[in-house]
Amino acid sequence: MTGELSEAERKRLERDRRTRQNRRGRRNPAPVPAKLTRTSAFAPKRRGIIDSNIERIFYVPGQSVVQVRGGELGSLHRDVIYALFRLKERMATLRIPNPDAPQNGTLHGVPTHFEVIEVVTTWRELLKAQGLTQHVNNLLTQKQVFQDLRQVVITIYEGNPDQIMEKLHRGRLGGRGMITGIIDTVEWDGVNLDSKVKVRFGRGVLAAFRTKNLVSLNAEVQFALKSDYAKSFWPYIDSKPTHLFIDETMLASLVDREVYGERETDSTRSQFRKDCRQAFDDMVRAGGLKEWTIELLGAGKRKIRRYHYKHALPRKIEQEQIELPFQLAV
């Protein structure tokens, strides 16, 4: 025994060290798969978006490529997913028999069991986790959101997103990936607030938990946001703890737009920038950001806005740097 760490062990320890340094003292955060915080698959709107004929690729440069079939998801769907991740004490990994496995003992490569992630909660807890009024009138909306999530099938591509998009544009497969649903099944035993609700996630979520590709999201801020644009921007901003600014080109990607794309006009671009300013004001109001400013980049008519911001909660390493001079002085 040499006592030396393997490369994988060193990377894991370094990742754990960075995670500890980047903690911001969040209260009851949600451990969310990183790709679900850095995707444009959730539109900044709430109604009229599910269409079984829709099949689209949602691309965020340098971050993710997700193909969605069965509809376009929105803010309500994102909030329900994040609320489930927030209920960590209600979440468990189960090993259940595979109903498709042969019964005669001959496996032929078919697994006898498979693992699932399951959340067992109540309607009341689910509403409370989202900051919604705990009233039976909200149960039908929750049920409809689950139904939407159940019918959507997503393809999650692994690897360099920019290279994946280049291959997809050439009509190729794009690389390694997985076809899955976000949610496999939803069951409930009643329509009262304290009735039990059981939700099983799809394989993609399980894979993310297995590989620890998770980020800690400040869910208190997420559910306090009023702007749908802010709900699209905040998960990305909060999942990048060392970043101090974001360009509007990235903000546009997070809502499946291009600042100077073919679909944009002077009017729609002006409205988009207004929505961005309101979103940053909303993130300040909700306690996520302390302040923000805009910097203009470039020349001529195609200037780009860069949004500088400061988190309301300092990272652990920043807090230590603030406290150390005071302790030395004492």
- Residue 148 and residue 140: Cα distance in Å, rounded? 12
Q: Which residues contact 134 (CB under 8 A, 6 or more apart)?
A: 124, 127, 128, 193
Q: Per-residue pLDDT averaged across 245-264, rounded?
A: 94
Mean of pLDDT values over 246-274: 95
**How many contiguous H segments (helices) and E segments (strands) does the chain have?**
11, 13
The CA distance from 136 to 113, in Å, is 37
pLDDT confidence bin for 318, thresholds 50/70/90: very low
Residue 118 forms beta bridges with which residues? Answer: 92, 200
The pLDDT, as a whole number, for residue 1 is: 45
pLDDT in tens, 168-226: 888 888 788 888 888 889 999 998 999 999 999 987 788 777 777 788 899 999 999 99
Residue 328: pLDDT band by 50, 70, 90 thresholds? Answer: very low
Residues 6+ apart with CB under 8 A from 179: 153, 154, 155
Any idea which of 2-6, 121-125, 277-281, 321-325 has the lowest mean pLDDT? Answer: 321-325
How many alpha carbons fall within 13 Å on the CB side of residue 232? 28
The 8-class DSSP code of residue 25 comes to: -
Question: What are the distances in angstroms from CA 210 to CA 15, 39, 205, 207?
Answer: 15, 20, 9, 5
Q: What is the pLDDT of residue 208?
A: 78
Whole-prediction pTM: 0.81
Would you mind telling me the total number of residues written for the chain in this entry? 330
Q: Determine the pLDDT at residue 172.
A: 85
Share of the chain above pLDDT 90, in %: 45
Q: What is the pLDDT of residues 77-121, one digit of tens each?
A: 999 999 999 998 899 988 877 777 776 555 666 777 778 889 999
Q: Is the confidence at residue 155, as pLDDT, over 60? A: yes
